[in-house]
Chains A and B, each alone.
Chain A
Amino acid sequence: MANTTRAPRKAAVLQDQCVACGCCAKVCPLHAITIYHGIYATVDTAKCVGCGKCAKECPASVIEIREATV
């Protein structure tokens, strides 16, 4: 997949501070986010393209877009 030198950027949720509101899942154009049992958001890194829409939307600002260490 990644044939560039840089690792792909992916969304990462600080799950301990996530309030599971689901705003991130709602805006993700790739439907890469699901709310795990109403507790926190999880990102399907295979689908995520690192666009950052979710991080912008998150009311608690607990999503970071960072280079994935696969």
Chain B
Amino acid sequence: MKKKWYDYLWIVTLVYLVLGFFNILFAWLGLLCFFIPLIISVATGTKGYCNRYCGRGQLFGLLGGRFGLSRKRDVPNWMKSKWFRYGFLIFFFAMFFQMLWNTYWVFAGASDLKQVVTLLWTFKLPWQWAYHGTVLHAGVAQFAFGFYSVMLTSTILGLITMLLFKPRSWCVYCPMGTTTQLICKAKHAGRGNRT
């Protein structure tokens, strides 16, 4: 099949992850992979982002498929169950809001900027080398550290399940994938199931 420009978006994902090691403020760009899928699903009622443009899915597909870094086993049944997928979605967004909350306190001047990247919501890695000060408020940087933590954490989870199961097994429980599917379901039900 002939490759289209959007089949190379995995490069964007890779560049994004690398940039976070040099200047944390690039993390803000990651908001695009939050809003684009949502906008596409709300506007068109499809998972067009997953189906076509998602660089992260492509990256896992490439590493696990072409480069063979995957056992290519079936995911366990619990992982594709609704309670796990929705449960993980809720957990993910709870953690996300906690991150926003911490950012808010830095914006409010009530806490200091913490130059750490938190992996798997637990491990705090010093990351001060990627921050060189900014003319903007410290809260701007705090959000960048928090958001990059979310992106790196989900990448690591995705890489782990890529190794253990099918290359793109992250897509089974990816919060954005689950959210956009729910939006599509709601939209479709709202239209009275007409095709």
Contact = CB atoms under 8 A, between A and B. Distances in A.
A65 interface: no
Contacts of B183: 38
A37 B167 CA distance: 24
B104 to A, nearest CB: 33
B46 A38 contact: yes
B25 interface: no
B168 A59 contact: yes
A37 B187 CA distance: 9
Contact of A37 (B46, B61, B165): B46
B50 A22 contact: yes
Contacts of A19: 80, 85, 171-172, 177-178, 181
B171 A59 contact: yes
Nearest to B162: A59
A61 to B, nearest CB: 4
A15 B27 CA distance: 36
Contacts, number: 80
Chain B interface helix/strand/loop/mixed: helix
A3 to B, nearest CB: 31
Interface in B137-195: 165-172, 177-178, 180-181, 183-185, 187-188, 195
A59 B166 contact: yes
B52 interface: yes
B184 A61 contact: no
A35 B185 CA distance: 12
A49 to B, nearest CB: 16
Contacts of A25: 51
B66 to A, nearest CB: 13
B146 to A, nearest CB: 27
B75 A60 contact: yes
Contact of B184 (A26, A38, A59): A38
Contact of A21 (B46, B168, B195): B168
Nearest to B73: A61
Nearest to A61: B74
Given A39-B181, A59-B168, A59-B169, A17 B51 contact: no
Highest count of chain B CB atoms <10 Å: which of A56, A60, A61: A60
Interface string B23-57: 00000000000000000010001111011100001
